[in-house]
Structure formats: C-alpha cells, structure tokens
C-alpha cells in the first residue's frame, strides 16, 4: 500500500483550507505599500517615507510564551495573535518607530484549521487596528514535535523612524520624571510562574474563581497585551519623550535599565501605582517577595515613559489613558532601585 504525506501526519488539504481562510483575513490589513498577495514566496512592501529626512528601519521578533498553554486550556485562540502583534509593536515603539508590516509563524503537531485561523484572526485584527499590514507568514505542521492540540506562534515586525527622532536614551538626564502606563494583566510574560502558582500549587483550574479577582483564573490570564502606540503617538510627534521602556520579561527591574545612559539611575517609588489584584494573588499563593515579583512580572505597569520636567504638563495632556508618576532619574550607575 502506498504511503502518503497524510499518513505521516501532514495534511496538505487541511493546510490549504486554512490558508484560503487566512488569505482573506490578511488582505483586510493591506495598506497601500503592499505589493504581493498572501501565498507568495516573499512579501513585498513599497516604502513611502515622505516627510522623513533620514528613515531608519526598526525590526523585532517575539512570541507569546506559555500564555499559549492557557489559550489551549481555555480553547480560546483568537486573542493570543493580537497579543503577539501588540507586543512586537511596543518593542519597536520604544525606539520611536511606527509599524509598517508584520509576518507570523504558526507551528503545530496536527493542523486544526479552525484553531490556526482563529489565531491568525487575532493577528489580523490587531494589525488592522494598528494600520500595520500582515503581508505573509508560515504555517508549519510538525507531527511528533508538539503534543496534540498544542502550537507555537511567533511574529516578525518592521517599522520606521526618522533618524533624528530615534529614542536611544542619550537625552535622559538627572531629574527626569518617570511615568507609568498601566497594564491589564500579565500581558505576555510571567506565565510559567503563573501556571505553576495557579494550576500546580493552588490546584485550581482555568474556570476557578479566586477571592480578589473579578474574573475566572483563565480569563484573568488571557487578558490582552496592550498596544501603547496610539496612546503615545501625539507625544512622540511633538518630541516630548526622552525614553520608553516596554515592561516585559524581567519586569521594571530588568527593562527600564536597558535605556539608561551612564550615571543615570532610575529611582522607582513602589506604591505610586495600583498593583493589579492578579499580582497580589500570585504573590500570596507563592509567598513571593516583592523584589521577585518586580523582576518576574510587570506588576501593573506595561510601559514606562521618561520625560523632562519642562515637558511633563505638555506630555500628560496628550495621554488619553490613566498614567502614574512612578519615579525619577537620579545620579548613579544605570540600574533600577526602589523606594517607598
């Protein structure tokens, strides 16, 4: 009896069916610069840099981590794709860039077209909201590599910034003010810790309810990763920002110091912003010390802004979202310290 590729675990027909549906989702995100259709060997994008004196391309790649485990447990797959896009947008935003186009990679053991399309639906939705074109990607079926029902997803983004407007931290000085923009949850980092705490130590399930949380455990853990670009667009256009730090894996402690120049220390005042109930519950379950929580999670702050005091009023007037004054820049080695 002849063996087919499907006998080996790869269903080309299922893949083609999923790609046909994905093509329509991606086309809805196309901007005028897109020159190729989904399905081409390479995605083509014509760049219009009118208004930029010296355009610089900024790129980044990332994943969603073990948040995908929670999505599988909840059988809810249409949010993690948006998390991926928003995470990548924020990563280039901290250098002042706006997104141009995005590509995704989804790998699974046995391809379920409905699941894959649901993931890409989230990718396309976030791209469209950000005016960022989804110009291509890859769906890989890898039998024996992933457990049944599991998948992985990664994203690749390219944006642009005028060289004169690049945020590189060099203009940060002593006395600058630190503002924090709130997160709504873990975003896309700290999920290995959260899963251990809730599902192993506390023996809870995704549908469990915990005192202090407004939603079920699963719903809390699937809350979206915020895209901060629309919030900061006006301030960036007016050159009111000296530095930005996207608070991802490593928390404020490990991310804010990445943008500090020599002899500039970030003094963060703990208690100056409301810590989300999710983080308090996690700390209680694991008896985790404050400094460890600040390194492992965002603790309620998704983006930190560094601003000169002279620009503080002008900048805050552009923010159409809550913000908190969480600290300042002081003399010292480039690191983050905490005070109360």
Q: What is the pLDDT of residues 262-318, one digit of tens each?
A: 999 999 999 999 999 999 999 999 999 999 999 999 999 999 999 999 999 999 999
Residue 11 has pLDDT above 80, yes or no: no
- pLDDT score at 4: 64
Residue 5 has pLDDT above 80, yes or no: no
**Cα–Cα distance for residue pair 209/215, rounded to 1 Å:** 7
Residue 331 has pLDDT above 70, yes or no: yes
Structure tokens at 24: 């329509």
pTM: 0.95
The closest alpha carbon to 160, from 261, 43, 45, 255, belongs to: 45
Task: Tell me the residue length of the chain.
Answer: 340
Task: Give SS3 for 32.
Answer: coil
Residue 243 has pLDDT above 70, yes or no: yes
- pLDDT score at 165: 96
- pLDDT score at 3: 64
Cβ neighbours of residue 271 closer than 8 Å, sequence gap 6 or more: 340
Averaged pLDDT for residues 158-181: 97
Strand order in the sheet with 336-339: 243-246, 301-307, 177-182, 324-330, 265-269, 336-339
Task: Please answer whether residues 86 and 126 qualify as being in contact, where contact means their C-beta atoms are separated by less than 8 angstroms.
Answer: yes
- pLDDT score at 20: 87
- pLDDT score at 234: 97
Q: Indicate the helix (H) or strand (E) that contains 266.
A: strand 265-269
Average pLDDT, the chain: 95
Residue 189 has pLDDT above 80, yes or no: yes
Q: Write the pLDDT tens digit of every residue in 60-109.
A: 999 999 999 999 999 999 999 999 999 999 999 999 999 999 999 999 99
- pLDDT score at 8: 63
Residue 124 has pLDDT above 70, yes or no: yes
Averaged pLDDT for residues 175-203: 97
- pLDDT score at 306: 98
- pLDDT score at 240: 98
Domains contained in the chain, CATH given: 8-165 (3.30.1330.10), 177-339 (3.90.650.10)
């Amino acid at each position: 009896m002849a063996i087919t590729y499907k006998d080996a675990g790869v269903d080309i027909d299922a893949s083609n069916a999923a790609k046909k549906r994905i093509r329509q989702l991606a086309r809805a995100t196309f901007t005028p610069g897109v020159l190729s259709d989904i399905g081409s060997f390479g995605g083509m994008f014509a760049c219009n840099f009118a208004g930029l004196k010296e355009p610089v391309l900024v790129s980044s790649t990332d994943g969603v981590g073990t948040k995908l485990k929670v999505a599988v447990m909840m059988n809810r797959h249409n949010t993690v794709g948006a998390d991926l896009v928003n995470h990548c947008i924020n990563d280039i935003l901290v250098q002042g860039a706006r997104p141009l186009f995005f590509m995704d990679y989804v790998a699974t053991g046995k391809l379920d077209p409905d699941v894959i399309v649901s993931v890409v639906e989230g990718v396309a939705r976030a791209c469209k909201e950000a005016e960022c074109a989804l110009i291509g990607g890859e769906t890989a079926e890898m039998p024996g590599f992933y457990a049944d029902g599991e998948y992985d997803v990664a994203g690749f983004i390219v944006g642009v910034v005028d060289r004169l407007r690049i945020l590189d931290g060099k203009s940060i000085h002593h006395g600058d003010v630190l503002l924090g923009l709130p997160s709504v949850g873990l975003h896309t980092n700290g999920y290995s810790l959260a899963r251990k705490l809730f599902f192993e130590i506390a023996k809870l399930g995704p549908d469990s309810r915990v005192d202090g949380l407004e939603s079920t455990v699963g719903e809390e853990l699937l809350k979206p990763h915020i895209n901060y670009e629309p919030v900061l667009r006006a301030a960036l256009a007016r050159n009111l920002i000296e530095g930005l730090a996207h608070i991802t894996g490593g928390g404020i402690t490990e991310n804010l110091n990445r943008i500090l120049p020599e002899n500039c220390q970030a003094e963060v005042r703990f208690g100056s912003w409301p810590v989300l109930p999710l983080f308090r519950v996690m700390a209680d379950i694991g008896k985790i010390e404050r400094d460890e929580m600040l390194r492992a999670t965002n603790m309620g702050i998704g983006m930190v802004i560094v601003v000169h005091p002279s620009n503080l009023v002008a900048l805050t007037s552009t923010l159409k979202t809550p913000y908190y004054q969480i600290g300042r820049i002081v003399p010292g080695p480039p690191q983050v310290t905490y005070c109360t």
